[in-house]
Structure 1
Amino acid sequence: MSNPWGEEQPFTISLDGAQWAYGTPLADVKRLAAHWKDGFDWRASETRINALPMYTRDIEVDGFGTLNVHYLHQRSKVKNRFLAVLHGWPGHFLEVEKMLPLLTTASSDQPSFHVVAPSLPNFGFSEGVKKPGFHEQHYIEVLHKVMLSLGYEEYVYQGGDWGHVLGASLVTRYGVKHVKAWHTNLPIMEPPKLFSNPILYLEMIFKLPFDQVAKQRLAHLHKHVTTGRGYMLEQATKPQTVGYGVTDSPVGLLGWVYEKLVGWTDAYPWTDDEVLEWVSLHWIYYELSRGGTSSFGGQGDKWMPIPLGVSYFPKEIFQFPYSWSHQLGKYVYAGYHDKGGHFAAFEQPEALAGDLRNMYKKGGLRMGWSREKRFTYDRLLKRMKQK
């Protein structure tokens, strides 16, 4: 069968004026694919990446044998807290790269961390799982065993996207004894219920209709759920079907991931090299959602009595009323930001690292709810009116 578009057109067709409405624009994919083929210097990226303190370790996983797990491990020059940082989708361990010098540098007035950033199994340089059934509890088992193998019996945690979901499960299973505090930049939770959270429930019923900030956040969430979640349903239910396209075709993978890099960030000025390096390291996965049968929050949606900090970025895809974060744990710190999206560690490393330093500095875990909260709603409302 002949190619109806001729030998010079290996790509899909594009609708005039569609821009991003139907997904990644054809012109962008053509430009990136051409640069990937003839201009992108993977060896330069490889040299920079190899200069990072990376390691691999065999981890025994219950029911799955031994997996070779890749992780980044940057030690601070001072003895301080041990921080595990976990990426999400479509991310990888390099999301933490820009924050490493910020988190590990010694300071007289700010805490410093030993940072461990693993690649989840099926991602990057970690070994892939060979049989179905690798779920949440197995991912957090891997992370916890990596930390124990490094001698970190007690540690704190940070994550966004699936890093949040796994963090909530990690805290539920290993909190108090091992995980001493945690931080998320993508707080996800169910609406409060009358008997489990009566005050938040009554606030939702009687106060929410008049809370312009909360309504704006829920409208943002609704837009994402109704128009931007198709990828998740496909990957969570029939991943092998889409897998043929994104594993057989580099251009297919490029189009699949690039859409999220642009759509989920806050006007981040991606360079073509940044995009191509990101895509080159990427791999999609399936089992976290148990084949589409579990809630996005997973088994970890349980209040735990260890300190919790949250960072809020305006272009994050999942947005809930700020007060609902109290359902996740002992809410001690909140950071509000004017710019940033889903890949906060990559887009706004200074802001996210700043929140972690502020949360864990002397007295930070004892301050209760951030004192800035009472000013924040007024500030946001004023900003909305100005727009």
Structure 2
Amino acid sequence: MSSSSSERPFTLAVPQADLDFLRQKIELTRLPDELDGAGWAYGAPLADIKRLFARWKDGFDWRAAEAAINMLPMFTRDIDVDGFGTLNIHYVHQKSEVKNAVPLLFVHGWPGNFLEVRKILPLLTAASPEHPSFHVVAVSLPGFGFSEAPRQPGFGSKQYAEVVNKVMLSLGYEEYVYQGGDWGHIVGVYTVSYYGHKHVKAWLTNMLLTRRPSFSTHPLLYLWDLLPYDQKTREGMEHMNQFLKQGCGYWHEQATNPQTLGYSLADSPAGLLGWIYEKLVQWSDDYPWTDDEVLEWISIYWFSRAGPAASVRIYYEMTERYTKERLHDAKLDTVPVGVSRFPGEHYQVPKSWEHTLGRVVFRAEHPKGGHFAAFEQPEALVEDIRQMFGRGGGAYGVVPGKDGYA
């Protein structure tokens, strides 16, 4: 692991030439036609893309967005990855004024980015005698945002876990807790698998991608799962199965031929906008996205360090070109885990399955919220974190000497 001297403050400053090039690409774009009355049935509606394009070209103020992003305490640091050389990793690091705050690692997924932490950052770092406070680190995964991308094939679960763990160790957080959804959840599973107990003391997930209990690994859970599901569980599984049937085309493409898709994402603002905007809308729980929120999100991908094609390779590498399931190497342990359920999240598994993730010490079910919980329902997610790690919570005091209270 590289020494702490490699840390550098990071300021986002997109060259004007890159902004001019984007504007030129937008002006030269040829949009497709659309069937009459198609709406969302065939994907992102043409009217939405035209409106967003017009805003992106003439109304969206990237420099204002850039200035707001630069209000975050951002840094980069060199991380040595076994067998893959050194990667320069971007992250947000906001320390609480509470000296014994709990170190918390927040990890995003796709099509997310480090900005998902922005709304929860001031809430988590707030000092109070009523709830714990946290030192928060939000890393940009390799190939995402402003982190360097791997340069050779085979950068999989072990390497992603190694990177995020080494970021925390390099900051002096030998013991910490973890929160994530989407790939942040999957990377979390592997980080717990490799570094649980010694470094990761507990974690909270808001995406219940896990294994069905088997008789050989979880005999009691297997028998529990044989009981009839209640109506709510059946509805949740129907929601999940519908997504797996009609909402996973992107997954198959990104897990098998990411390079082919990458030509569109890297060269076409329309291709990138349509590909990600569709997920932002369809995966959230009626969240009222503003055009500027969407365009800021898409612009992070467009202006990303390695380009937008690099981010989708995680699907290929983590599944070995879809020949293995996403948790194939995970060795789930007894590390305390918390579960935050949001109704718009597409993975809605039975309660019995939760226990295959670890020792469940906290669970909450919310009436509103989707896949992007930290962005859609920041107060609800933060309250779950506070309850899980606060006094009386199932993971209170898991980081020795750091309970987070002022």
Q: Distance in 1 between matches of 2:334 and 2:286?
A: 37
* 1:295 Cα deviation after fit: 0.5
1:303–1:330 Cα contact (<8 Å) kept: no
Q: Is it true that 1:312 corresponds to 2:341 in the alignment?
A: yes
Tell me the residue number matched to 1:294: 324
Q: Distance in 2 between matches of 1:14 and 1:247?
A: 23
Is the counterpart of residue 91 in structure 1 residue 112 in structure 2?
A: yes
CA separation in 2, counterparts of 1:8 and 1:48? 29
In angstroms, what is the RMSD of aligned CA positions?
A: 1.5
Matches of 2:182 and 2:387 in 1, distance apart? 22
Aligned residue in 1 for 2:11: none
Deviation at 1:296, TM superposition (A): 2.4
Q: Give per-residue Cα distances to partners, 1:326-380, cap 9 Å, x unaligned.
A: 111010000110000000000000000110000000121269xxxxxxxxxxxxx
CA distance in 2, matches of 1:309, 1:167: 12
Residues 165 and 298, structure 1, Cα contact 8 Å, conserved in 2: no
Counterpart of 2:112, as a letter, is G
Alignment map for 1:354-373 (pairs within 5 Å):
354-365=383-394
- The SS at the match of 2:137 is strand
**Alignment of 1:150 onto 2:171:** yes
Amino acid corresponding to residue 314 of structure 1 in structure 2? P
Cα distance, 1:164 vs. partner? 0.6
In structure 2, what is the Cα distance between the partners aligned to 1:97 and 1:156?
A: 18
Rounded Cα–Cα distance in structure 2 between residues aligned with 1:311 and 1:327: 15
CA apart distance, 1:304: 1.3
Offset of residue 198 of structure 1: 2.1
Structure 2 counterparts to residues 29-68 of structure 1, below 5 A? 29-68=49-88
Please tell me whether the aligned partners of residues 80 and 112 of structure 1 are also in contact (alpha carbons under 8 angstroms).
Answer: yes
Question: Is 1:285 the equivalent of 2:305?
Answer: no
User: Residue 241 of structure 1 is aligned with which of 243, 260, 266?
Assistant: 260
Number of equivalenced pairs: 358
Contact 2:236 2:348 in 1 (8 A): yes
Which residue pairs with 1:370 in the alignment? none
- Output the amino acid matched with 2:76: T
Counterpart in 1 of 2:92? 72
1:119 aligns with 2:149: no
**Cα drift, residue 140 of structure 1:** 0.8
CA separation of 1:103/1:295 partners in 2, compared to 1, >3 Å: closer, same or farther?
same
Superposition deviation, residue 156 in structure 1: 0.4
User: Structure 1, residues 44-101: CA drift from partner, whole Å, max 9, x if none?
Assistant: 0100001110000011111111111000000001022100000001000000100001
The answer to whether the 8 Å contact 2:192/2:332 transfers is no
Name the CA distance, whole Å, in 2 between partners of 1:256 and 1:220.
Answer: 22
Question: Aligned letter for 1:247?
Answer: A
Higher relative contact order (CA 8 A, sep 6+): 2
Distance 2:326 2:32 in 1: 32
The residue correspondences of 1:310-349 to structure 2 (distance < 5 A) are: 310-349=339-378
Aligned equivalent of 1:228:
247
Residue 184 of structure 2 corresponds to residue 163 of structure 1: yes
CA distance in structure 2 between the partners assigned to 1:75 and 1:278 by the alignment:
25
Alpha-carbon shift at residue 19 of structure 1 (Å): 0.9
Match of 2:42 in 1: 22
Shift of 1:205: 2.0
Show CA shifts across 1:213-244 (max 9, x none). 11111101110000000000000000011110
Residue 9 of structure 1, CA deviation: 8.2
For the residue of structure 2 that corresponds to 1:180, the secondary structure is strand
Q: Cα gap change, 1:13/1:177 in structure 2, threshold over 3 Å: closer, same or farther?
A: same
Q: Distance in 2 between matches of 1:74 and 1:53?
A: 6
Question: What runs of 5+ residues in structure 1 fail to find an aligned partner?
Answer: 1-6, 368-387
Task: Tell me which residue corresponds to 1:371.
Answer: none
Match of 1:206 in 2: 227
For 2:226 and 2:352, the matched residues in 1 are separated by 13
Classify the secondary structure of the residue corresponding to 1:98: coil
1:228 corresponds to which letter in structure 2?
G
Aligned mate of 1:104, from 113, 122, 125: 125
User: Residues 183 and 142 from structure 1, CA distance in 2 versus in 1: closer, same or farther, beyond 3 angstroms?
Assistant: same
Unmatched segments (≥5 aa) in structure 2? 1-26, 302-307, 397-406
Give the C-alpha shift of residue 189 in structure 1.
1.3
Please, which of 169, 176, 194 is the counterpart of residue 173 of structure 1?
Answer: 194
In the TM superposition, residue 271 of structure 1 has moved relative to its aligned partner by 0.4
* C-alpha deviation, 1:303, in angstroms: 3.2
Per the TM alignment, residue 8 of structure 1 is displaced from its structure 2 partner at its CA by 9.6
Percent identical pairs in the alignment equals: 58
> Would the aligned equivalents of 2:225 and 2:352 in 1 still touch at CA under 8 Å?
no
Cα distance in 2 for residues equivalent to 1:335 and 1:206 = 22
1:186–1:316 contact (8 Å) kept in structure 2: yes
